[in-house]
Amino acid sequence: MNLTPFSWQNEIKGKLRTKSIGDDFILLENFANVPKFLYPFKLEMTVALLCTKGMIRGAIDMHSYDLHAPFSIIVRSGQVLHHEYVSSDFSGFCLVLSDSFALEFLPQIDQPLLIANIIKERPYAQLSEEHIKIGKKYLTTLKKCIAMTENPYRLEIIKYLTMTFFYVLRPKFQSQTENTKLTRQTLLVEQFTNLVRENFRRERDTKFYADRLFFQPQYMSKLIKQATGKSASDWIDDFVMLEAKALLKSTHMTIQQISDKLNFPSQSFFGKYFKRCEGVSPKEYREK
């Protein structure tokens, strides 16, 4: 399948002052000037943000956030980002890591599945002033290492320096999950949304999810709506539409390819589904 994503690396390197090592590692400090994307955007890289001042608002997959400093956000490649607002007083820095570079060290700090699971569920964490002090020292050292252009091991140095920084952040992401006490209802919502996240490209029938959670479909949907204000079918539609919108706006895939990727029986069926949910056709949404 011909998938040609919009390159955020090229976008920020072309418009903003950055420090980088090719497309593998990009350091961005003037993050307040990053273009706002008024539509969901499918990432083709890992992005780690540390904010020391100001606030930011947006959404990652189906997780909305409205965060005030100090905090960190980590978004994995393949997730959908909707970047809405950054305050004018924002300060901090952002790391943009290529898939190949991130895969060299992220699995080593992934036990017990921290990045793969916890960050997908809660991709942000409030930080302490001590974390900010360490982050500033990391940033200073990082810039010096990026400037070592004659050192053939520069990328290796960056890799291990960044791995150390991620180890510093890891307990904050992990502890917020361990300290969250889930009621039976919120546990059901989490289990349901996890299942939808894994299967929405193939399964859009609430019965599929109810069977795996050992509920009757109507009863499960009732509990989901009581807890979230949205029915189970609405949640499924939201996941499908988020992916469809991101693929329409941030790739060069044809509408037929997107329809195939989301396992619709035909492009016509996909078009009717999209228009029912969004009010416009996939083509109209792409062009607006």
3-state percent helix, strand, coil for the chain, nearest multiple of 5: 55, 20, 30
Q: How far is CA 228 from the centre of its chain?
A: 21
pLDDT at position 174: 75
Extract the tokens encoding 107.
Answer: 């699995």
- Going by pLDDT thresholds of 50, 70 and 90, the confidence category of residue 13 is low
For a pLDDT cut of 90, what percent of the chain falls above it?
47
More confident residue, 171 or 276: 276
Tell whether 174 and 188 lie within a shared domain.
no
Which residue, of 128, 149, 178, is where some domain finishes?
A: 178
In a domain, 1, yes or no: no
**Cα distance between the two ends of the chain:** 25
Residue 70 belongs to a domain: yes
Nearest in space to 217 (alpha carbons), one of 227, 203, 232: 232
Sign of the Cα torsion 269, 275, 281, 282 reads: negative
Amino acid at 116: A
User: What confidence score (pLDDT) does residue 32 get?
Assistant: 55
Highest mean predicted confidence (pLDDT) among 59-63, 175-179, 283-287? 283-287
Inform me whether the pLDDT recorded for 196 exceeds 50. yes
Contacts of 69 (CB under 8 A, 6+ apart): 51, 52, 53, 54, 55, 92
Q: Is residue 116 part of a domain?
A: yes
In a domain, 2, yes or no: no
pTM (global) more than 0.75: yes
Range of the domain at 257: 184-287
CATH number at residue 268: 1.10.10.60
* pLDDT for the residue numbered 46: 86
**Boundary-marking domain end, from 162, 178, 194:** 178
The answer to whether residue 104 scores a pLDDT higher than 80 is no
Which of 10-14, 48-52, 96-100 has the weakest average pLDDT?
A: 10-14
Last-in-domain residue among 157, 178, 199: 178
Q: Do 218 and 143 share a structural domain?
A: no
DSSP class of residue 208? Answer: H
**What pLDDT, on a 0 to 100 scale, did the predictor assign at position 216?**
94
The answer, yes or no, to whether residue 2 has pLDDT greater than 50, is no
Indicate which CATH number applies to the domain containing 170. 2.60.120
pLDDT in tens, 240-282: 999 999 999 888 899 999 999 999 999 999 999 999 999 999 9
Per DSSP (E only), the strands in the chain are: 18-21, 25-28, 41-42, 46-53, 55-60, 63-68, 71-75, 80-86, 91-97, 124-126
Angle (nearest 5°) at CA 146 between 141 and 151: 110
Residue 169 lies in a domain: yes
Degrees, nearest 5: CA angle 18-23-28: 25
Q: Do 39 and 111 fall within a single domain?
A: yes
Range in 103-107, 140-144, 170-174 the model is least confident about: 103-107
pLDDT tens-place string over residues 67-76 = 999 999 988 8
Query: What is the enclosing helix (H) or strand (E) of 119?
Result: helix 119-121
**What is d(CA 225, CA 219) in angstroms, rounded to the nearest whole number?**
10
The mean pLDDT value for 206-227 works out to 94
Residues 158-174 have a mean pLDDT of 86
* Mean pLDDT for the chain overall: 84
* 115 and 210 both lie in a single domain: no
State the pLDDT confidence band at 94, using cuts at 50, 70 and 90: confident
196 and 68: one domain? Answer: no
